């Protein structure tokens, strides 16, 4: 499926040409606009790729519209690095949870509804991929922008050793929200849009839970080092993403340690 230009009534994707193992087909920059309105919101300007950023600005201009606000879904450079140049191009502030990622913009708080020229998006804090990750609920389109919390294919890496607990909580919470608000479309930070949010979120949850079971088995079988666990749990992994797998395994170990402590307490 073609990603560039895909979307919903109010959201359309401009695909940045930065494909890679972590960025899949490239970063999806989303332009959000209430039909007939002039003001738009841009989600994740992308990396510092001037041609891409100029193309986003031009796309908005060609629609007779104007960027009033940019938002980043989390601090990673493939989403944020272009923020400064994009803000220079458009005059729009960049809002972010992480103060360092803001460009003349404000913070973003869980539950807050941003209203821009008739368009409403709700901020949902979804720590895990990074501790500052957010999703955006575009309720009028029954759509959820997920940044790197949910990808168009594959599953994201968790940044940092303490991210898995929050990430699991975020997935369960997103599934509840998707049910409650009848979300029909996921607009991810990378990869194609997804049209069955509940089954995607359930498979994410199942995938993580089964990985945790595999790590448990590796530990039971005597694995003691992260490298040994990677070899058992991810036997076909490419060298390119081995470091990322290591960070996943460390997160899994941390999560299991907390869980086991809790269950040990529960048993005693």
Residue numbers at the binding site for Zn ion (CB under 5 A)? 78, 148
Q: Nearer to Zn ion by C-beta: 46 or 105?
A: 46
- Closest approach, Cβ 248 to Zn ion, in A, equals 16
Q: Nearer to Zn ion by C-beta: 76 or 215?
A: 76
Helix (H, G, I), strand (E, B) or coil at 253: helix
In angstroms, the CA 84 to CA 32 distance is 19
In angstroms, the CA 28 to CA 172 distance is 24
- Closest approach, Cβ 147 to Zn ion, in A, equals 7
Q: Nearer to Zn ion by C-beta: 39 or 47?
A: 47
Q: Nearer to Zn ion by C-beta: 26 or 39?
A: 26
- Closest approach, Cβ 78 to Zn ion, in A, equals 4
Chain-centroid distance, C-alpha 22: 12
Q: Which of 44, 78, 132, 141 is catalytic?
A: 78
Pair 147, 189: CB distance under 8 Å? yes
In angstroms, the CA 266 to CA 264 distance is 5
Q: Nearer to Zn ion by C-beta: 39 or 188?
A: 188
- Closest approach, Cβ 265 to Zn ion, in A, equals 37
Q: Is 142 left (phi over 0), alpha (psi -120 to 50) or beta?
A: left
Q: Is 244 exposed, middle or buried (0-12, 13-18, 19+ CB in 10 A)?
A: middle
Is 110 known to be catalytic? Answer: no
Chain-centroid distance, C-alpha 36: 28
Q: What is the 3-state secondary structure (H, E, C) of 85-97?
A: HHHHHHCCCEECC
- Closest approach, Cβ 169 to Zn ion, in A, equals 21
- Closest approach, Cβ 194 to Zn ion, in A, equals 16
Q: Nearer to Zn ion by C-beta: 49 or 148?
A: 148
Tokens encoding 138: 């575009």
Tokens encoding 10: 């109010």
> What does the longest C-alpha to C-alpha distance in the chain come to?
67
Q: Give Rg (Cα) of the chain.
A: 19
How many C-beta atoms lie closer than 10 Å to residue 112's C-beta?
Answer: 14
φ, ψ at 224 (rounded to 5°): -120, -20
Q: Which residues are catalytic?
A: 78
């Amino acid at each position: 499926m073609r990603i560039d230009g895909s979307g919903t009534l109010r959201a359309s994707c401009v695909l940045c040409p930065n494909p890679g193992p972590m960025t899949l087909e490239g970063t999806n920059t989303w332009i959000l606009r209430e039909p007939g309105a002039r003001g738009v919101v841009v989600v994740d300007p992308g990396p510092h790729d001037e041609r891409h950023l100029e193309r986003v600005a031009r796309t908005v201009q060609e629609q007779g519209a104007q960027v009033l606000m940019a938002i980043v879904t989390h601090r990673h450079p493939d989403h944020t690095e272009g923020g400064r140049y994009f803000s220079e191009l458009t005059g729009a502030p960049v809002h972010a949870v992480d103060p360092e990622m803001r460009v003349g913009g404000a913070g973003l708080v869980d539950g807050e509804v941003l209203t821009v020229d008739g368009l409403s998006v709700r901020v949902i804090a979804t720590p895990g991929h990074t501790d500052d990750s957010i999703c955006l609920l575009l309720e009028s389109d029954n759509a959820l922008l997920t940044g790197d919390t949910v990808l168009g294919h594959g599953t994201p890496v968790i940044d940092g050793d303490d991210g898995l607990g929050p990430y699991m909580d975020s997935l369960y919470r997103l599934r509840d929200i998707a049910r409650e608000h009848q979300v029909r479309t996921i607009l991810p930070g990378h990869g194609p849009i997804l049209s069955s949010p509940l089954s995607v979120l359930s498979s994410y949850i199942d995938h993580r839970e089964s990985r945790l079971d595999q790590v448990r088995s590796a530990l039971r079988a005597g694995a003691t080092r992260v490298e040994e666990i990677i070899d058992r749990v991810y036997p076909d992994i490419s060298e390119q993403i081995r470091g990322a797998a290591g960070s996943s395994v460390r997160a899994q170990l941390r999560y299991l340690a907390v869980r086991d402590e809790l269950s040990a307490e529960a048993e005693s």
